[in-house]
Amino acid sequence: MNDGRTGIVDAQGFAHVRLTVTDIHRSKAFYEQLFGMPPGSDFSDQVDDPTVRDDPWRTYGGCSFTFHGQTLGLRPVADPGDRFDPDRVGLDHLSLRVRSVEDLHRAAERLDAAGIEHGEVTDLEPFGLVILSVQDPDDINLELAAPRPVGA
């Protein structure tokens, strides 16, 4: 069916995003706590095997979390002292969609209870979103985003 698009690809969303991390165990624990589930694929127990960092079948010693048909992977190949920089070529931030603004407020409460620093729930009216930002252990900005309520 031709719907008038002229792009090369008719993308249906993201299949996966993989983040490069400095410490797979620390990052895995953070994302397990954030998502409330263990990774579905996990080779982090092999991170000290010198052959794993070159092996895509073992996700380079990383792990991945899958939800709603999308996957967030962690790849442990960054130098231990490295830190994320949103001003370099690559990722600026990662935005994860949640169902509602109430979910954002619940997330803020749970982050507080877990002792994880985060920003405020912020209404981005021009974009039709309400967001809550949190930094992961490598300082990658994660933005939790909910659709702005109609009429708000």
Of 114, 106, 112, 111, nearest to 130 (Cα)?
106
Is residue 132 a contact partner of residue 104, using CB atoms and an 8 Å limit? yes
pLDDT at 4: 67
pLDDT at 13: 75
Q: How far apart are CA 101 and CA 86, in angstroms?
A: 26
pLDDT at 91: 87
14-80: what CATH class?
alpha beta
pLDDT at 142: 93
pTM for this predicted structure: 0.86
Where are the chain's structural domains? 14-80, 92-152
How do 41-42 and 94-97 pair as beta strands? unpaired
Q: Distance from CA of residue 139 to its chain's centroid?
A: 12
- Under DSSP, is residue 94 helix (H, G, I), strand (E, B) or coil? strand
pLDDT at 152: 64
Q: How far apart are CA 128 and CA 114, in angstroms?
A: 29
CATH superfamily label, 92-152: 2,3-Dihydroxybiphenyl 1,2-Dioxygenase, domain 1 (3.10.180.10)
Report the chain (152 residues): mean pLDDT per 10 consecutive residues. Answer: 67 84 96 95 94 88 91 90 87 92 95 95 94 94 91 68
